[in-house]
Amino acid sequence: MSLASLELDGHIGVIRIDNPPVNALNNALRAALVSILEGARHNAAIEALVLTCAGRTFIAGADISEFGQPPQRPTTIDVIAAIEQMGKPVVAALFGTPMGGGFEVALGCHFRVAAPGTRVALPEIKLGLMPGAGGTQRLPRLAGMEKALAMILSGDPIDAKDALASGIVDEVADGDITAAAVAFARRAVAEKRPLTLARDRDEKLAALKRNPSQFEALAAKASRRLGGPVAPARALQSLRDAVALPVQAALERERASFLELVESEESRAQRHIFFAEREAAKVPDLREVKPPDVKRAAVIGAGTMGSGIAMCFANAGIPVTIIENAQEALARGLATMEKNYQASAARGGLAKEDIARRLGLIHPATDLTAVADADIIVEAVFEDMGIKHEVFSALDRLAKPGAVLATNTSYLDVNAIAATTGRPDAVVGMHFFSPANVMRLLEVVRGTKTSPQALATAVRIGRKIGKAPVVVGVCHGFVGNRMHRIRSVETERILLEGALPREIDAAMTGFGFAMGPLAVSDLAGLDIGWRMRKAEGFSAPIADQLCEMGRFGQKTGRGFYLYEPGSRTPRPDPEVDALIVATAKKLEVERHPFEPKDLVERLLFPMVNEGARILDEGIAQRAGDIDVIWVYGYGFPSWRGGPMHYANTLGLNYVSDRLKQFAAQAGDSRHEPAPLLTKLAAEGKGFT
């Protein structure tokens, strides 16, 4: 099968790419395109060309599996050069999701016609990269610098209407997009439209070129929340070059930066997470299972989690019944959901009709019999085994045969919950993270008796509602919270040994976390962990005392930090510092100063060690699964690739040696390197 073909429609040559599933611009396709373009250039019967695709989208990007390999010619730049040297109009017929290299090819064409639902983007920054085939030079020339900064630094797509308004596309056309592009090409020929290339159009940059200092003001306004320290800075530099350098020089610098980023640790880490997320939902023995469609869902409990989970279903267009045992709690839950929708509308993310449609899909009820027609039921009631038992034995009676019975428990034993029903095969954990309508992570917990069908249904619906499902096994806290607990124990320990809350948090934000662990505890509420520790009979000397003082975190204005009324900014509290020092003295722990690097290692390496145990026990299938959990559920910086990937980059020998040092200093066994870590370190291997 040829990846691209040329057909004549009168005097218009139609180049059709056919490289399923998304017409990725791989080595073979680029070669085919350059050869067709060369032929078309010399074909006097062709007056203009249309570049279009078969399938569901115009070229959706490069083939990112080729990123790790040396670039092969012809490159995307060669394809674009062949278009720009054509000497006759080339019109791109855009539909679906022309992104990355695909969108850059379109930017190299003389004209662009788009179907109404088209979404274009330069998403490279999300993989720790930047556009490498002219995107940073052609986009600002077509759309202006402000738009280009926003698109390239966020990586987010814009729709066809927006692309038309900003000058990126020349026309939005209904109906057959290839036919519309052919008609456009005929008009371009008939009207003898000038063939001005995007790279030569300087009108939109003229003001900036006269006054380059304005660039910094625009750049400061553009969001830069994504990625590590290098890629966004390089992308920004390349956009600055669009103003400061002749276009050819700027294009060459862009390419050099791109090639350097491909080799960077930062991009390797982000690509690892990208592929790990795809892998995480795959379970070897589920390959043959065809899960049924979920047409209706039910959520039990309209508290913090239940409300968010119900919103996830409604957002995906799935009708959902939300059940509370009391009218008052139900009303509170509904009010929360409405408030959340209004807030996203206020941020411009949602139209009024969308809110109404989504709320219309949420059906409130106060009687468990309302679960009868649900294909999946997610329980999100209090974290109390007695109450979970009650709910699940009722579900056993009321749910229809074949329904999946899911629990959102954070710590309780999914097998014990399953055992309260006559259909343990239907029971699975679906562990969402707070706020459930925002956080992408979903731990799908496979019980001993969970059927492949139930598990596959939970994974599939997880994807459908926009989550990153990761299949894990049953243990206390599953993967994420089990490792989180290790970090919490270590945090308390380090406070006693000499660090202050702000030093720990500064070290972790310095590493790349958006918030430090103690600021996060204050945000989540210290009372939650306190209650749990009391129930489970263990203690955290500092956090327990803070709770006894009524310092529950942000909600009480005081926790590890102080908060001004109405403010979320943590301020150090001398009272807490004194409490820490006094407690260390009482417990006879000698205090000493810590370097930020030591703090990071003391907090992360024990987690990695626990991750190794989790792998050994088969609770997680792959190291990459653990990384996805930490990046999507706990704010681990994606450009560090997750804890296990980060450990690989340091070398497991180093990690293992440091753990041995911690063990010797602590004089207890909690830091002894796990057998799997020891083995891999000795073999000079990594976790994958």
Work out how close the CB of 483 gets to ligand NAD at its nearest, in angstroms, rounded to a whole number: 15
Report strand pairing: 12-17 vs 4-9.
Answer: antiparallel
Nearer to ligand NAD, 379 or 601 (CB): 379
Q: Does 324 bind ligand NAD (CB under 6 A)?
A: yes
- Short-list 100, 91, 238, 208, CA closest to 146: 208
Which pair of tokens denotes residue 420? 């309260």
Q: Which of the residues 84, 124, 254, 379 is marked catalytic?
A: 124
Nearer to ligand NAD, 343 or 387 (CB): 387
Q: Which of the residues 84, 104, 503, 610 is marked catalytic?
A: 104
Active site residue 104: yes
Q: Which stretch binds ligand NAD (CB under 6 A): 317-325, 349-357, 462-470, 618-626?
A: 317-325
Q: How many CB atoms lie within 10 A of CB 614?
A: 25
Helix 675-682 / helix 596-616 crossing angle, nearest 10 deg: 100
Sign of CA dihedral 297, 477, 599, 559: positive
Rounded CA separation 604/599 (Å): 9
Nearer to ligand NAD, 124 or 379 (CB): 379
Nearer to ligand NAD, 334 or 599 (CB): 334
Residue closest to ligand NAD, measured at CB: 303
Nearer to ligand NAD, 250 or 474 (CB): 474
Q: Does 301 bind ligand NAD (CB under 6 A)?
A: yes
Which pair of tokens denotes residue 198? 């995007």
Nearer to ligand NAD, 43 or 304 (CB): 304
Q: How many CB atoms lie within 10 A of CB 498?
A: 17
Q: Does 380 bind ligand NAD (CB under 6 A)?
A: yes
Work out how close the CB of 445 gets to ligand NAD at its nearest, in angstroms, rounded to a whole number: 11
Q: Which of 4, 239, 299, 305 is in the footprint of ligand NAD by CB under 6 A?
A: 305
Work out how close the CB of 307 gets to ligand NAD at its nearest, in angstroms, rounded to a whole number: 8
Rounded CA separation 515/469 (Å): 24
Per-residue burial over 376-386, b if 16 or more Cβ lie within 10 Å, else e, is: bbbbbbebeee
Q: Residues 378, 336: contact at Cβ < 8 Å?
A: no
Between the two ends of the chain, the Cα-to-Cα distance in Å is 35
Q: Which of 9, 190, 295, 382 is in the footprint of ligand NAD by CB under 6 A?
A: 382
Work out how close the CB of 331 gets to ligand NAD at its nearest, in angstroms, rounded to a whole number: 11
Rounded CA separation 139/152 (Å): 9
- Grouping H, G, I as helix, E, B as strand and the rest as coil, residue 23 is coil
The position carrying tokens 């990695």 is 608
Active site residue 124: yes
Work out how close the CB of 439 gets to ligand NAD at its nearest, in angstroms, rounded to a whole number: 9
Work out how close the CB of 677 gets to ligand NAD at its nearest, in angstroms, rounded to a whole number: 28
Work out how close the CB of 626 gets to ligand NAD at its nearest, in angstroms, rounded to a whole number: 18
Nearer to ligand NAD, 101 or 306 (CB): 306
Which pair of tokens denotes residue 132? 């490498």
Q: Which of 94, 185, 298, 300 is in the footprint of ligand NAD by CB under 6 A?
A: 300
- Grouping H, G, I as helix, E, B as strand and the rest as coil, residue 560 is coil
- Short-list 57, 67, 71, 46, CA closest to 23: 57
Which amino acid type is present at position 320?
V
Q: Which residues pair with 442 in a beta bridge?
A: 432, 469
Work out how close the CB of 435 gets to ligand NAD at its nearest, in angstroms, rounded to a whole number: 8
Rounded CA separation 563/566 (Å): 8
Q: Does 329 bind ligand NAD (CB under 6 A)?
A: yes
Q: Which of 65, 223, 434, 688 is in the footprint of ligand NAD by CB under 6 A?
A: 434
Rounded CA separation 660/654 (Å): 10
Nearer to ligand NAD, 92 or 441 (CB): 441
DSSP letters along 409-433, please?
-SSS-HHHHHTTSS-GGGEEEEEE-
Work out how close the CB of 320 gets to ligand NAD at its nearest, in angstroms, rounded to a whole number: 14
Task: Tell me, residue by residue from 410 to 429, as one string, x for binding to ligand NAD by CB under 6 A and - for no binding.
Answer: x-------------------
Nearer to ligand NAD, 314 or 579 (CB): 314
- Which residues have a Cβ under 8 Å from the Cβ of 420 and sit 6 or more positions away? 388, 389, 392, 393, 396
Q: Does 108 bind ligand NAD (CB under 6 A)?
A: no
Which pair of tokens denotes residue 16? 């059709």
Instruction: Count residues binding ligand NAD (CB under 6 A).
Output: 24
Q: Does 304 bind ligand NAD (CB under 6 A)?
A: yes
Which amino acid type is present at position 407?
T
Task: Tell me, residue by residue from 383 to 412, as one string, x for binding to ligand NAD by CB under 6 A and - for no binding.
Answer: x---x---x----------------xxx--
Q: Does 303 bind ligand NAD (CB under 6 A)?
A: yes
Query: Would you name the residues annotated as active-site residues?
Result: 104, 124
Q: Which residues bind ligand NAD (CB under 6 A)?
A: 300-306, 323-325, 329, 380-383, 387, 391, 408-410, 431-434
